[in-house]
Amino acid sequence: MRKLLIATRNKGKIPEIKAKLDGLDFEFVSLEDVEAIPDDFDVEETGKTFEENAILKARAYGDMSGLLTLAEDSGLCIDALDGRPGVHTARYGSKNNVEKNKQLLEELKSIPEEERGASYVSAGAIYDPGSGRLETFEGIYRGRIANEPMGDNGFGQDPIFFNAEKNRTNAQMSLEEKNAVSHRGKMLDRAREILLRGFS
């Protein structure tokens, strides 16, 4: 069975990725499982787009490990903030997500509900260091920013990202519910198709 490296340091993302790719004929390994990758090594996200950052990570970790590698970059783009924090989501304000969410809500405090639209964007890349083959794909998830954090599930900005159709935030959904509608879920549906078609 071929190994597939899930190249993320974000422990919240790994269960979502594994759940979406469950049943594929791959052995999933994490960065911590690969001796060739130091524990303190991170790829500098210098790309101007989510896709560029996903490619940077897939190539760097794939070349270091020699393994087929899946990498992802994602973030929150808020309409009223001209698309911020965007590709800088992970580095925007505090590293602590509770504080980061407080900051975003403070920036939006005077914005009415109908103007609080936002998109979660997830770009993925699968890279095979043996052949040099690279595939990229994307998922976009529309919603709005809630007036206050709600829910205890998920991670990141899930407590403040409100899905009007479900009438709750991402953090109020189960993993299965969130994966069915989220940006990462959509991105991973494409990854699954690509892995089934060509990398197995």
Active-site annotation, residues: 73
Dihedrals phi, psi of 48, to nearest 5 degrees: -90, -10
Give the chain's radius of gyration (CA, Å). 17
In three-state secondary structure terms, 161 is strand
Q: How many whole angstroms separate alpha carbon 86 and alpha carbon 118?
A: 10
Q: What is the DSSP string of 64-111?
A: HH-SEEEEEEEEEEEGGGTT-BGGGGGGSS-SSHHHHHHHHHHHTTTS
Task: Judge whether 102 and 34 are in contact, CB under 8 Å.
Answer: no
Task: Judge whether 70 and 7 are in contact, CB under 8 Å.
Answer: yes
Neighbouring CB atoms inside 10 A of 111's CB total 17
Strand partners, 118: 78, 143
Q: How big is the chain, counted in residues?
A: 200
